[in-house]
Structure 1
Amino acid sequence: MLIAMAGLPGAGKSSVAEALGRKLAAPVVSVDPIEAAMWRAGVARGGPTGLAAYLVAEAVAGGVLALGQAVIVDAVNAVEAARGQWRALADRHGVPVVFIEVVCSDPVVHRRRLEGRSRGIEGFAEPTWEVVERRRAEFAPWANERLVLDSVADLSLNVATASGFLASVR
């Protein structure tokens, strides 16, 4: 199974992805550390490193799926092209794809989390609230089914909800 996380920066998707990965013993492939690694390797920041990071994540996730294991992809997945990439990858491997969108319904909490977080990704600056607001305006409507979790709820409750949803898909 391919589990594709989605949501704005700072909404809580990485926290859900990591907790779900531990519960399912499934690797989490995260786009942000991949992009930061490219920059540390000397790839110019002005280039299409965001797209390249998605493609690297796809290659890594594909390798995991080829082993017959579930994988979780942690990325914003704001546009249909990104979402289509994960559907196509799942189709190539003959596995289901499940999208889990994490939102934060309280903008005050969302902003405080974003401004207070430090993920420790070397060379990766945390996005500002202004960047999140621009991304929110660019977030494409969903054309397919997904589970929506609100990170205002307790993390363990969200992980339990996601686990139940995934069990129903299997």
Structure 2
Amino acid sequence: MLIAMAGLPGAGKSTVGQALARRLAAPVVSVDPIEAAMRRAGVAADQPTGLAAYVVAEAVADGVLALGQHVVVDAVNAVEAARAQWRALAARHGVPVAFLEVVCPDQDLHRARLAGRRRGIAGFPEPSWAAVQRLRAAYQPWPAARPGEPEPLRLVLDSTVEVEPNVSTALAFLGVRS
């Protein structure tokens, strides 16, 4: 199964995704460290490194799925093109795709988490609250299933809830035993 995390920076998607991956013994393919590595390799930040990071993450996830393993993709997935990328990858492998969108409905808590976040990704500064607000404004709604296509699995998790209950909810939703 391909499990694609989604949500704004600082909402808690990496925390939930990593905890879920530990329970599934599945690798996490995270876009931010990939983008940071490209920058450290000399690709300028004014280049489309974000898009390139998604393409590299897809290639890595493709290899994991080819081994017959679950994979958790950690990315914002704010636009339909990114979500379609994961649906297409899963379809190529004949495996299900599930989207776990993590939200933090408490704006003050979300802002505080972002301000206190120190992931230590060399070459990748933490986004500002203003940047998250711009991303929120550009975040595309999730479309309904297209005619003739099954609706992809999508679960919205509230990160004001503790991590372990969210992981248990996700596992039950996915129908996967850890």
- Give, as a single letter, the amino acid of the residue that structure 2 aligns with 1:155: V
Q: CA deviation at 1:156?
A: 0.7
Partners of 1:87 and 1:130 in 2: CA distance: 30
Tell me whether 1:23 sits opposite 2:23 in the alignment.
yes
Q: What is residue 4 of structure 1 aligned with on the other side? A: 4
Structure 1 position 133, deviation (Å): 0.5
| Total equivalences in the alignment | 168
Note the residue ranges of structure 1 that are not aligned, 5 or more in a row: none
Q: What is the aligned-residue RMSD (CA, Å)? A: 0.8
Structure 2 residue aligned with 1:146: 154
For 1:164, the equivalent position in structure 2 comes to 172
Name the structure 2 match of 1:126.
126
What TM-score results when the alignment is normalised by the length of structure 2?
Answer: 0.93
Q: Distance in 1 between matches of 2:28 and 2:164?
A: 18
| Off by >6 Å, runs of 4+ in structure 1 | none
Distance in 2, matches of 1:146 and 1:111, equals 25
SS of 2:59 mapped into structure 1? helix
Deviations 1:79-124 (A, max 9, x none): 0000000000000000000000000010000000000010010011
5+ residue gaps, structure 2: 145-152
1:17 positional shift: 0.5
Name the amino acid aligned to 2:70.
A
CA distance in 1, matches of 2:142, 2:38: 30
User: CA separation in 1, counterparts of 2:109 and 2:47?
Assistant: 33
Distance 1:65 1:25 in 2: 14
Correspondence list, 1:59-74, <5 A: 59-74=59-74
The aligned runs of 1:25-64 (5 Å cut-off) are 25-64=25-64
Q: Percent identity?
A: 71
User: Normalising by the residue count of structure 1, what TM-score does the alignment of the two structures yield?
Assistant: 0.97
